[in-house]
Amino acid sequence: MSEHVLVERDAGLLTLRLNRPDKMNALTRAMYSQMAEVLDAADQDPCVRAVLITGGAECFTSGNDVADFLQAPPTGMDSPVFQFMRALFDFSKPVVAAVAGPAVGIGTTLLLHCDLVYVSRDAKLRTPFVNLGLCPEFGSSLLLPRLLGQARASEVLLLGESFTGGQAAEWGIASAALEDGPSALAKAREMALRFLDLAPSALAVSKRLMRAPGREELRKVIEEEGELFGQRLRSPEAIEALSAFMQRRKPDFSKFA
């Protein structure tokens, strides 16, 4: 078990708390594996009625660990990151996210697969995939244009423009934007606890119905994105961009055709 993901139980609410503050909660392979295992077990455990995902009141996550991307890129669909995506995608119970501070890369795209999302108004969401020589993942190439419209989604996915928690709520990525991190966390917890008193089978059937339209198409998109993302991670463009991040310099794409 990784000490970088704290798993807390409070009656029927299971909380996954990202806890790697020195690296802005960047997600390692060990963290993905742990989250996938915990989610799979929680789905089978009748005592768990809802899950809350948070990084605390200051930082959600800076996304995939960049050093991991360089040293141990995912090798296929059974790699830890894809196991985590599959576990969240297939999770049958309500998932609530509390977001404050940066939510980068998968920190933004995973929100598209949660049921309720509470953000601090000044949270900073960003999907800098192209900026890193990569491409969209976790269904974001399908879901973001659908939610934001093509033109706004292009700013977010092609230019890597960041957006605030307030905008995420306006655009339907988040349920609501709260004044600060502690308020977002408190609201998320309050709403997650409400699920504990509801009929579990009615909830599961309703979630399934809400997510059913286009689900197989979305699953295929996630797989296709995953394959291309894996290829891109090994591309000279991505290696230049990821190395530049580690060396705290701007990437130089001028040599690429």
Sites of contact with ligand COA (CB under 6 A): 23-24, 26, 62-67, 102, 104-105, 128, 132
Nearer of residues 171 and 245 to ligand COA, judged by Cβ:
245
How many other CB atoms are there within 10 angstroms of residue 90's CB atom?
13
Min CB(193)–ligand COA separation in Å: 30
Whose CB is nearest to ligand COA? 105
Cα(210)–Cα(118) distance, integer angstroms: 19
Min CB(153)–ligand COA separation in Å: 17
Cα(192)–Cα(94) distance, integer angstroms: 8
Helix (H) or strand (E) holding 178, with range, is strand 176-178
Min CB(216)–ligand COA separation in Å: 26
Min CB(197)–ligand COA separation in Å: 37
Could you tell me the strand order of the sheet in which 102-104 lies? 102-104, 124-126, 163-164
Nearer of residues 106 and 178 to ligand COA, judged by Cβ:
106
Cα(55)–Cα(5) distance, integer angstroms: 9
Nearer of residues 67 and 147 to ligand COA, judged by Cβ:
67
Residues in CB range of 124: below 8 A, 6 or more apart = 101, 102, 103, 162, 163, 164, 165
Give yes or no for a contact between 102 and 61, defined as CB atoms under 8 angstroms apart.
yes
Nearer of residues 66 and 221 to ligand COA, judged by Cβ:
66
Nearer of residues 195 and 229 to ligand COA, judged by Cβ:
229
Min CB(121)–ligand COA separation in Å: 17
